A and B are shown apart, each in its own frame.
Chain A
Amino acid sequence: MSKEEILKKISDAVVNGKPAVAKEGSEEALKNGVRPIEAINDGLVRGMAIVGDRFAQHQAYLPQVLISSQALYAGLDVLLPAIPKGESVAKKTVAVAVVEGDVHDIGKNILKTLIIAGGYQVIDLGRDVPTEEVLAATESKKPDVLALSTLMTPTMLSIRDAVDGLKESGYRSKVLVAVGGAPVSQTFSDEIGADHKDNDAIHHVAWLKEVL
């Protein structure tokens, strides 16, 4: 198989939501001397971008996006460890988390997938992440953007606490803070001093392209 054929195979596997095929294609890529970064960008990420576009144009349903993301991760599991040290070009990094007190992470996972598809590196801090952990990770991993979300009203204040913590530690000026989730409003974002608010993963990636 030519390089082009392999990349097409990987990309199609993501579009069609076939984790096993994505894994197989990624292994073939490595065997045939395709550079892992190339396989990620021109295979996995390209496929995910297609799914993201379809989702944005209401041509794909949310479950399809989630299944495709499974294929994306299956491929990444093979390709990421194969990147030679030092070659991983300094990509911009986005840390994502569902804040303390909330376990609803479907939205966060969609966002994560689309951010990867957008060509950025993602640090997934998980869900119900204690505020202190968000702060510690921001300091140690130095993401360019910290994206925090919640689906519930009471836990919105955990987002506020995280922003306060960044001000206290002096990291607020070193990271862009984006907030999101169903109840999160623009007035909330403004009052707590976030940089950006979104309730839509696609728009959020568009914003990242603007600021990063």
Chain B
Amino acid sequence: MGIGLGFDTGGTYTDAVLMDLSNGKVVRKAKALTTRDDLSIGIGNAVKNFDKSLFKDVVMVSLSSTLATNSVVEGKGCRVGLVSVGREFDGSIPVDAYAFVDGGHDLKGKEASPLDEDAVEAAVESFVGRVDGVAVTSYLSVRNPDHEVRVKKIVENRLDVPVVCGHELSSSLGFNERAVTSIMNARLIPIIKELITSVKAVMRDVDIKAPLLIVKGNGTIMGEEVASSRPIETILSGPAASMIGAKSLTGKEDAIVMDMGGTTTDIGILRNGQPRLEKEGAVIGGRRTRVLAAEISTSGIGGDSRIVANNGRLTLSASRVVPLCIAASRWPRLKDRLKAVSETVPRQTPESLGIDNVVLDSEFFVKVKTVGGENLSDDNRRFLDLVSEEPFSLREASAALGIHAFDFTVAKMEENGLIQRIGLTPTDLLHAERSYVQYDPEASSFGVAYAAKRLGVPPVEFIALAKQKVVEKLSQELLRKLFFEETRKLEIDSVGLDLMNKAISRKDGLDFRVRIGLNKPIIGIGAPVAAYFPQVAEIFGAELLLPEHSEVGNAIGAVTGSVAETLELLIRPRGSGSDNPPCTVFSALGKLDFDTISAALEYADTEGRAFVVEQAGKAGADYVDVKTDIKEKRYDVGGGLGAGNALLEIEVVLTAVGKPRQFHTAA
């Protein structure tokens, strides 16, 4: 029996699943808290929950991880030098060393200016000791990669660091975007290598020898060697994995996949069994890259979203807090203090304060970081010391330290990641009504009791109101995504917003009513979905699939993903007239001229095919199958003489897809 071991390290939880690869059945599943400082600890904790005897049958290990995404957003990674050929990089992300050299090609792939190799040598010399990786980007390298290839050789001869070229990561036009992608990629290499090493150490401890694969942002997977050279392709892999998991769990090829996690809800659309990719390239940390990742909308509504009842208003905030039930199981003394708070008469906080500055007595703070905070005031420093082991509410801290509550700037410290807030969340709602119990439900009940008192309603009603808020928010996010898919526009005007709200509330307007129906089912993924998604599906009259094991959907997607490698070739006729004119082929393999289009297509089918098959093999694929997608673009020629139809170009996309290679010990 061949078993696949899949992991997903999410923002809050690390999921693990053991799946029988012969029949797609989930054998075991486990969950542990994600350990952000060293993901392998959380992975190890999740693995500990499994019966060790199963490990001997593990033939592959696959991991989906937010590490690359988080690292880019947080600006982590190694020192990178950029060699920019033929055009200055716009500096949209910082680099640790930079050199501009002459060179580059023109739009037809001809050398626009010879590569200044002396300048490259000098640049590389100046990089010595200042960089841990080098990115190379050249003007129009997608039309001819020759200068990037030559610079790479020069760098590799002098420096013993990874070198990343723009054309290796993207075949799309966009000099700065390719540069950004290469820089981010170079920065991530040591980070992903460290992850691979530490995960393999965890695997070794439990005697698993199978190879490790990593999920890419398009939902496919790649072997560790390829992952160490192209880590940028793992960005946004969590949501992509959840879509592949959803497909695997339901067998549906067309569906809306909603994955509600602790921190966020991700919404993506499966069409023909594939997540739709963002053609322009994924945007990460506010920068457009050329990474082809699944286009998935992420919104700040999750099991850990903060619920605030203040001045008769119930608010669902996008900020993340630790649910009371989880905090109480970790710090048991919290429960009695919560109970005491729930018995007090609540004071409302002034409306004028921003929601983050509203601090309730039922909210506690605990220190999370050991570094930073050098510029804190004495009062804040004493606060930080106090909450270093045990969480305290602002009122408790004020009493314990004899300092007025307003003298602490907790919201600021929270924003800077020094402290973490503990408070009422959607997860607590479910614990309080006992519909989903994983942690301490009594703590949740006390939290709800206090919040209900603040709102002036009975606890049961409070839970219903708050759950309704969550359902409304999820419905809004769903419609936003569907509208975006349709119109490619993110902003919704006031009329659109009104129609949207009427469709969700199902309240009539003066003379009309709005109903929106879906033409495909919703697949709900994630632990808390059963509590909210049925109502969401009902609003839109949609079929809802809540597959078993959906709470570990990402990890399942990691195991069931295919290994895929792609090569894009662009064939452009030189001149016009003939049916089979001379042409030029542009691809990562270089620029090549052919006498006829048929010769070029033949080249794609032989050399191109051989290349993707080899790449797929390197990425860890077995039983590789090559899919050829040929798109011929033609245009009309209008007016006068020579009116007719002409060939603009042919796009050939070769995709080699295989199953991950399995590891079997000699019996």
Question: What is A's interface to B at a CB cutoff of 8 Å?
Answer: 131-132, 153-154, 156, 160-161, 164-165, 167-170, 182-188, 191-192, 199
Contact = CB atoms under 8 A, between A and B. Distances in A.
B638 A185 contact: yes
A160 B638 contact: no
Contacts of B107: 131, 161, 164-165, 168
B648 interface: yes
Interface string B607-649: 0000000000000000000000000011111111011001010
B635 A168 contact: no
Contacts of A132: 106, 112
What range describes how many residues of B lie at the interface? Answer: 20 to 34
A152 to B, nearest CB: 9
A156 B644 CA distance: 14
7 contacts: A168-B142, A168-B175, A169-B87, A185-B636, A187-B636, A191-B648, A192-B648
Given A153-B642, A168-B139, A185 B637 contact: yes
Q: Which of A160, A183, A192: most chain B CB closer than 10 A? A: A183
Contacts of B139: 168
A103 to B, nearest CB: 17
Given A164-B107, A165-B107, A188 B173 contact: no
B350 interface: no
Nearest to A183: B637
B440 interface: no
What secondary structure prevails in chain A residues at the interface with B? helix
A170 B174 contact: yes
Nearest to A190: B635
B174 A183 contact: no
B638 A167 contact: no
A156 B633 contact: no
Given A154-B575, A161-B108, A164-B107, A183 B175 contact: no
Contact of A167 (B174, B635, B640): B174
Contacts of A182: 638-640
A106 to B, nearest CB: 15
B592 to A, nearest CB: 19
A138 B252 CA distance: 48
Given A132-B106, A153-B576, A168 B637 contact: no
A168 B172 CA distance: 8
Interface in B66-118: 87, 90, 106-108, 112
A126 to B, nearest CB: 20
B108 A185 contact: no
Given A168-B142, A182-B640, A185-B638, 5 more contacts: A154-B576, A164-B173, A168-B107, A184-B638, A185-B637
Contacts of B643: 183
B177 interface: yes
B181 interface: no
Given A165-B107, A167-B173, A168-B140, A183 B640 contact: yes
B425 interface: no
B342 interface: no
Contacts of B648: 160, 188, 191-192
Contacts of B176: 170
B638 A170 contact: no
A188 B142 CA distance: 22
Contacts of A184: 638
Contacts of A168: 107, 139-140, 142, 173-175
A165 B105 CA distance: 11
Interface string B388-427: 0000000000000000000000000000000000000000
A192 B177 CA distance: 20
Contacts of A185: 635-638
B87 A183 contact: no
Interface string B141-176: 010000000000000000000000000000001111
Contact of A156 (B87, B173, B637): B637
A170 B173 CA distance: 9
A161 B635 CA distance: 15
Contacts of A164: 107, 173
Contacts of A154: 575-576
A159 B635 CA distance: 13
